Amino acid sequence: MKNANIRCSFRRCLCFLLALAMLPWVFMRGDVLSADAAYTDSTVKKYQQQIAELEQKSKNLKNNINELRAQAAEYRELKKEYDGYISVTEEKIEASELFLQELEEEIGKTKAEISAKKDEYARKRKQFLDTMTVNYEEGGASYLALLLGATSLSDFLSRLERLTSILEYQKSITTKLDAIRASLEEKQADLEAQVKEENEVIADLEVTKADLEQKRKEVDEMILELQKNEVEIQNQIKKNQTEEAKLDSQMQAYIQEQQRLLMLKMESGDWRWPIDLQYTQICSSGYGWRVLYGVWDFHRGWDIACAKGTPIHASKGGRVLIATYHYSYGNYVVIDNGDGVSTVYGHCTKLYVTAGQTVKKGDTIATVGTTGNSTGFHLHFEFRKNGVYTDPFQFIKNPPIGIIASRLTK
């Protein structure tokens, strides 16, 4: 009995030791993968943190560019206003100068008319006196002598009547001439007053024009300064892009290593469109080069526009490598689909999967949002081959919605 107990204890110890020896092999594809997943998360997060810091700087710089461009646009509008004001002011000055010229010409005509009327008045008066002298005096007769020369009462009355008529006629002529002359002199005074007023208007307009031109010059200088600042910021963005690319290459290498360790095989069949077709008909940006904020930028996937909260499905089955937040991608998911191919789903509102989780094609992994560096609700959908960004057309050759490939070359 004692020997039997010893043999039983020996067997238990031997089984325990064998179990300990086999433990690493048992968990090689199980718990070890979980450890890999944890290591993946910590390493990815380290890279993401470094990239996020750089991208935050880029975001601030891009915001500065947007502010500078907004200010420059305001200044350009202001300059346009000043140009308009200056143009109108110049037209006013030109019109005033033409009007002034017309006034001067009118004053000249009026002075000539006044002079002519004065001459006419003198001529008619002289003509009247000459007539009286020839008829009645032959040398210096007066109106009184004309009357006293009457030979009878009837002759006196006749002479008086004739003289009265002559005097009234002379008076009417001189009165008329005096009225015309007074009217012309009044007209001349009005014209000269208008000339004075118009000269003052032109002087004010010249001051206004000079002030507007000075302000326009200041606006031009400000626009140049803003453009200079924008160039400096763009250079800083390019520098950040270089650093981001360096860090991104490190992260790509790490993902490649994780894919090598997992050695997943891709399931057969076509790729599923990640958004149900009733929710989307538009691709707002394709794969390839584009210009953002005046700086060349390589867009690494397709932007599929759709409403907030639209379900996002796994394009193929695989293992979730990353499910977290990233400054540029926002809430995003990376799935290792096998054979070195992975898919990325960015700018999500909610994530329904976690790193290390296995998903099947068609599973809902997230919902559409506009988190991260995004200007509207859409799914950023991209492919990577061995961690490197790849044209999605290599995998989905006939997408169900129209997608135009970029024709820009840096």
Is the confidence at residue 323, as pLDDT, over 90? yes
Residue 138: pLDDT band with limits 50, 70, 90: very low
Report percent pLDDT > 90 for the chain.
24
pLDDT at 349: 96
pLDDT band at 128 (very low <50, low <70, confident <90, very high): low
- Res 239 pLDDT > 50: yes
The proportion of the chain whose per-residue pLDDT surpasses 70, expressed as a percent, equals: 78
41 pLDDT tier (thresholds 50, 70, 90):
low
Quickly state the pLDDT bin for 355 (edges 50, 70, 90).
Answer: very high
Question: With a threshold of 0.85, does the pTM exceed it?
Answer: no
More confident: 53 or 44: 53
Q: For residue 308, how many other CB atoms are within 10 A of its CB?
A: 12
Whether residue 44 contacts residue 247, with contact meaning beta carbons closer than 8 Å, is answered with no
Mean pLDDT of the region 173-197: 80
pLDDT at 359 over 90: yes
Q: Which two tokens stand for residue 323?
A: 């499910």
pLDDT interval class at 285 (50, 70, 90)? confident
Straight-line distance from the first to the last Cα atom of the chain, in angstroms, rounded to the nearest whole number: 87
| DSSP secondary structure letters along 77-111 | HHHHHHHHHHHHHHHHHHHHHHHHHHHHHHHHHHH
Rg (CA), the chain: 51
The more confident residue out of 370 and 40 is 370
Residue 281: which pLDDT band, with cuts at 50, 70 and 90? Answer: confident
- The H or E element that residue 143 is part of is helix 143-148
Per-residue pLDDT, 40: 53
Residue 39 has pLDDT above 80, yes or no: no
Residues 380-395: what's their mean pLDDT? 93
Is the model's pLDDT at 318 over the cut of 90?
A: yes
Contacts of residue 110, Cβ cutoff 8 Å, sequence gap at least 6: 184, 187, 188, 191
The pLDDT mean for the chain works out to 77
Residue 37's pLDDT is 45
Q: List Cβ neighbours of 401 (8 Å cut-off, separation of 6 or more).
A: 277, 280, 281, 282, 283, 304
Between 40-49, 120-129, 167-176, 359-368, the lowest mean confidence (pLDDT) is in 40-49
- According to DSSP, residue 394 is labeled G
Q: Phi and psi of 258, rounded to 5°?
A: -65, -40
For the stretch 189-213, pLDDT in tens is 887 888 888 788 888 888 888 887 8
- What pLDDT, on a 0 to 100 scale, did the predictor assign at position 47? 64
Strand, coil or helix: what is 342?
strand
- For the stretch 46-53, contacts whose Cβ atoms lie closer than 8 Å and that sit 24 or more positions apart, written own/partner, are 47/247, 47/248, 47/250, 47/251, 47/254, 48/251, 48/324, 48/326, 50/247, 51/244, 51/247, 51/248, 51/251, 51/326, 51/327, 51/328, 52/326, 52/327
Q: What pLDDT score was predicted for residue 307? A: 93
Flag whether pLDDT at 156 surpasses 90: no
- The β-bridge partners of 312 are 366
Kindly report, residue by residue over 92-106, the tens digit of the pLDDT. 778 777 877 887 887
Residue whose tokens read 């990577």: 384
Question: Is pLDDT larger for residue 11 or for residue 350?
Answer: 350
Return the pLDDT at 27.
34
Question: Would you state the pLDDT for residue 51?
Answer: 66
Region 159-176: mean pLDDT is 74
Give tens-digit pLDDT for 256-280.
887 888 889 999 999 999 999 988 7
The pLDDT value given to residue 38 = 44
Averaged over 118-126, what is the pLDDT?
A: 72
pLDDT for residue 10: 40
Of the two residues 271 and 43, the one the predictor is more confident about is 271
Helices 153-262, 31-136: crossing angle, 10 deg rounding: 170
The yes-or-no verdict on residue 118 having pLDDT over 50 is yes
Amino acid 52: pLDDT: 67
Q: What is the pLDDT of residue 130?
A: 63
